[in-house]
Amino acid sequence: MEVASARQYEPVIGLEIHVQLATDTKMFCGCELSFGLDPNTRTCPVCLGHPGVLPVPNRRAIEFGLMIGLALGCEIAPRSIFHRKNYFYPDNPKAFQISQYDVPLCSGGELAGVRVHRAHLEEDAAKLVHAGESGRIHGAEASVVDFNRAGTPLVEIVTEPDIHSAAEAAEWARLLRETLRALGVSDVNMDEGSLRVDGNVSIRPAGEATLGVKTELKNMNSFRFLERGLDAEIARQEGILREGGQVEQETLHFDNRTGALSSLRSKEEAHDYRYFPEPDLVPIAPTEAMIEMARAAIPELPLARAERFERDHDLPADSARLLAFRGEQGDFFEAALAVSPSDPRTLANYVVNDVPPGSAATPEAVAKLVDLIGAGTVSRGAAKEVLEVLAAEGGDPEQIVADRGLGAAGGDELGAIVDQAIAENAGAVEKIREGKDQAIGAIVGAVMRQTKGRADGGEVQKLIRERIGA
């Protein structure tokens, strides 16, 4: 008999990502897109939902939608249709959102092994600002509505449930963000809400084919929180199943500060929204020329960039990916490589591990440091210290080496230190002469301690062997 508590569970995750498009104007009117401006200063009768107005689709938004679909390897529908998704809420003055339903613009794509179910166009809602204590009206907490966001063009990307851990979900979402950033279709700023990720998650006994009941974590606004939230939810679901209970389908909020999960609402069904075709809009029927234009506008994407780093610069797959999937660091690496092409692996290693994005180090300075190592002017040990200074304060590596006495120990200075280390480690010398070669480590270690890591290990070994005639 199977013991329930010993059972292994497999998480199953699908993501829904809302991407605000970086067009100049809104999806169906000419109002300017904005963030952080005075409330209700970028509105018109269309995005305020006045009766009798007519929507006009934003051509650029459709082009961006096509670029996203093509970049994700989707099929483009020859005639996709706008629908009204009906719901009442204060952020939605029309009482419906124009979205796409059964015929989305893009369907059936794939990115890094995760299938993309669909990507469709829609409009964003207005923003509710909860005024809290200070905004009390008649003793109640007040909320106000800012319609500047209402009508902002969105592409919603929906994956198949192909992801199997919280960490994988966060890493994939990072790759998607970098892909969108490279496309130039969105600011992809999670703090400002231009990229919003919902995580759908269920668990099932390992080896089982049918899906478990899922819950949805809404609007995770950082990849770290997405990962933490999914992990917390996976643990919660496991707890329920192990006690013989059943997971309920619902939408949850994850509190970043406390780590608590709370229920927002039980799940709504598609029929709750009374979808029907938007009578004021014709289908989107992209011409061949529009599709070709969109295809031509797609630059090198992060996955292809990672492959190029691996192939052309001989980088290990993981550092190639780290650089390419974190676009800023990839740019830094390429800028530095242009200055110093001799040792891409060391350079990549430093950019990934020692130069956090936004640090004071410039690509030129890091490139120069790699050259100093290549020339034997600075040891790899001392270079780490130079990097710390570069990252914290910036500056010129040569100057930092001079100011702090970090230059590689060499010549007579190093010779004297090696002689002393040999004299103090007679036992080790004996062993080396007897053929126990690894005993040389003790002498090298003594030299490194004496030089505080400023000597080159290979050089030190060579000197020792020369001197003891081994």
Residues 6+ apart with CB under 8 A from 327: 178, 181, 182, 302
- The CA angle 160-164-170, to the nearest 5 degrees, is 85
Q: Binding of ligand ADP at residue 158 (CB under 6 A)?
A: yes
C-alpha–C-alpha distance, residues 343 and 373, integer Å: 10
Instruction: Give kind and range of the element (H or E) at residue 249.
Output: none
The least distance separating ligand ADP from the CB of residue 16, rounded to whole angstroms, comes to 5
Task: State in angstroms the smallest separation of the CB of 12 from ligand ADP.
Answer: 4
Where residue 236 falls (left for φ over 0; alpha for ψ -120 to 50; beta otherwise) is alpha
Instruction: Kindly tell me which of 160 and 459 has the beta carbon lying closer to ligand ADP.
Output: 160
- What residues are paired with 12 via a beta bridge? 202
Could you tell me the smallest distance in angstroms from the CB atom of residue 91 to Zn ion? Answer: 15
Please report how the helices 302-313 and 317-325 are oriented relative to each other, as an axis angle in degrees rounded to 10. 140
Cβ distance to ligand ADP smaller for residue 112 or 293: 112
Q: For residues 208 and 22, is the Cβ–Cβ distance under 8 A?
A: no
Q: Quote the tokens at residue 175.
A: 């790759």
Closer to ligand ADP by Cβ: residue 226 or 429: 226
Q: Identify the burial level of 197 via C-beta atoms within 10 angstroms of its C-beta, where 0-12 means exposed, 13-18 middle and 19 or more buried.
A: buried
Three-state SS string across 95-160, please?
Answer: CEEEEECCCCCEEEEEECCEEEEEEEEEECCCEEEEEEEEEEECCEEEEEEECCCCCCEEEEEEEC
Does 440 participate in binding Zn ion (rule CB under 5 A)? no
44 makes contact, choosing from ligand ADP, Zn ion, none, with CB < 5 to 8 Å by partner type, with: Zn ion
- Size of interface with Zn ion, in residues (CB under 5 A): 5
Nearest distance, CB of residue 65 and ligand ADP, angstroms: 18
**Which residues lie below 8 Å from residue 129, measured CB to CB, with a gap of 6+?**
39, 143, 144, 145, 146
Q: Given the complex with ligand ADP, which of 146 and 168 has the nearer CB atom?
A: 168
Least Cβ distance, residue 126 to Zn ion (angstroms): 11
Which alpha helices (H) appear in 243-287, and where do they start and end? Answer: none
Identify which of residues 157 and 347 has a Cβ nearer to ligand ADP in the complex. Answer: 157
The site that binds ligand ADP (CB under 6 A) totals a number of residues, namely 15
Residue 85 or 454 with smaller CB distance to ligand ADP: 85
**In this structure, what token pair is assigned to residue 165?**
């851990």
Per CB under 6 A, 211 contacts ligand ADP: yes
92 binds, among ligand ADP, Zn ion, none (CB under 5 to 8 A by kind): none
Q: Give counts: helices (H), strands (E), the chain.
A: 15, 14
List the x/- string, 189-208, binding to ligand ADP by CB under 6 A: -----------xxx------
**Start-to-end Cα distance in the chain:** 67
Q: Is 214 in the site for ligand ADP (CB under 6 A)?
A: yes
Residues 21-60 that bind Zn ion (CB under 5 A): 29, 31, 44, 46-47
Q: Choose from Zn ion, ligand ADP, none: what does 320 bind? Cβ within 5-8 Å by kind.
A: none
Q: Site residues for ligand ADP, window 12-41 (CB under 6 A)?
A: 12-16
C-beta closer to Zn ion: residue 56 or 416? 56
Among Zn ion, ligand ADP, none, residue 201 binds (CB under 5-8 Å by kind): ligand ADP
Residues 309-348 that bind ligand ADP (CB under 6 A): none
Shortest Cβ distance from residue 204 to ligand ADP (Å)? Answer: 8
Select the residue interacting with ligand ADP from 92, 159, 179, 362 (CB under 6 A): 159
Residue range at the interface with ligand ADP (CB under 6 A); choices 7-15, 127-135, 147-155, 320-328: 7-15
CA gyration radius, the chain: 29
Nearer to ligand ADP by Cβ, of 197 and 406: the residue is: 197
Q: Which is nearer to ligand ADP, 205 or 407 (CB)?
A: 205
- Residue 157 interacts with, from Zn ion, ligand ADP, none (CB under 5-8 Å by kind): none
Q: Is 46 exposed, middle or buried (0-12, 13-18, 19+ CB in 10 A)?
A: buried
* Contact between 365 and ligand ADP per CB under 6 A: no
Would you count residue 240 as binding ligand ADP (CB under 6 A)? no
31 binds, among Zn ion, ligand ADP, none (CB under 5 to 8 A by kind): Zn ion
Which amino acid appears at position 139 of this protein?
G
Give the residues across from 262 on adjacent strands: 253
- Of 314, 316, 352, 317, the residue nearest 333 (C-alpha): 352
Q: Minimum Å distance from CB 14 to ligand ADP?
A: 2
Q: Which residues bind Zn ion (CB under 5 A)?
A: 29, 31, 44, 46-47
Q: Which residues bind ligand ADP (CB under 6 A)?
A: 12-16, 158-161, 200-202, 211-212, 214
